[in-house]
Amino acid sequence: MKKIGLCLFTAILILIADSMRMNSSIPEALIKSRQIILVTTSGWNAVAGEMRRYERDAVEQPWRSVGEKIPVVVGRNGMAWGKGLHGDAIGDGPVKKEGDGRSPAGIFSLSSAFGYAPRRQAGELKLPYLQATATLECVDDPRSAHYNKVIDRADVKKTGWKSSERMRRDDDQYRWGVVVDHNAKGEPGCGSCIFLHIWKAPGKGTAGCTAMEAGKMEDVLRWLDATKQPVLVQLPQAKFERLRKAWRLPS
């Protein structure tokens, strides 16, 4: 009986160790999140892709699908490994750089929303919201201390940046959007100003964002809930299949 008990105890210890090893391979953001936006494309250089949404009521519960698949476009040159919650580039594939026309691949938190409407007119939102006024800009100059930050020019005494993106555009592409926390530390030249936003046209790639039809963008924005720690997981399909089990992603 003692020998059987010892064997059972040893087996339990092995199971616990295996479980810990499996959990250690899952980025912490995925363990804590209760909302996932999953974007996949057919390959690193593909522009067209699809978006799927998942949520769960508690972190120990399985993911359930939300809504239908949404057609999207990514960067005009496809995807490249970005700087996010997944750590470094995982295996093969290009690495994102400023101006490369690629959307970041990996795992990224979704921290805030923006749009043209004043907050009181934006309706029910569960993310922090910023109105895109005429003086609101996202700095994409790698030499600037404000690199990869959304800043109101009117609030800065000395701007100094040589390049930036106007958040209040002359078209509707930023009428609704969500900030993707790529390169959150603002490492120079690693890519900046990445958003989910409205596309220019079906099949038309972006400068590095992920874009979709206007109505779908608004649906996604109103679904996202900061209390559920939402994340964007964005990968070419082959890389998604390779990481799905290790990261315990929904299929």
Q: Where does residue 147 rank: exposed (0-12), middle (13-18), buried (19+ CB within 10 A)?
A: buried
pLDDT at 159 over 90: no
Q: Is the pTM of this model over 0.75?
A: yes
Largest Cα separation within the chain, whole Å, is 79
Q: Which residue has the higher pLDDT, 83 or 17?
A: 83
Whether residue 41 has pLDDT greater than 70: yes
Q: Give the phi and the psi of residue 250 in degrees, each rounded to 5.
A: -65, 150
pLDDT in tens, 117-134: 999 999 999 999 999 999
Structural domains of the chain, ranges and CATH numbers in brackets:
2-247 (2.40.440.10)
CA dist 244 and 23 (Å) reads 13
pLDDT grade for 251, boundaries at 50, 70 and 90? confident
pLDDT at 5 over 60: no
Amino acid at the residue 49: G
- Structure confidence at residue 146 (pLDDT): 94
Task: Give residue 212's pLDDT.
Answer: 98
Q: Is-contact 226 128, C-beta < 8 A?
A: yes
Q: Which residues pair with 232 in a beta bridge?
A: 37, 108
123: CB partners within 8 A, 6+ apart: 222
| Confidence grade of residue 2 (pLDDT, cut at 50, 70, 90) | very low
The answer on pLDDT for 12 being more than 50 is no
Q: What is the pLDDT of residue 25?
A: 67
Q: How confident is the model at residue 16 (pLDDT cuts 50, 70, 90)?
A: very low
Asked if pLDDT for residue 53 goes beyond 50, the answer is yes
The model's pLDDT over 167-178, given as tens digits with 9 standing for 90+, comes to 999 999 999 999
73: amino acid identity, one letter: V
Q: Is the pLDDT of residue 13 over 70?
A: no
pLDDT at residue 4, as a whole number: 42
Residue 24 has pLDDT above 60, yes or no: no
Give mean pLDDT, residues 35-43: 98
Cα 212 → chain centroid: 14
Give every CB contact of residue 191 below 8 A, 6+ residues apart in sequence: 82, 83, 96, 97, 98, 100, 104, 148, 182, 183, 208
Residues 6 or more apart whose CB falls under 8 angstroms from that of 181 comprise 84, 108, 109, 110, 111
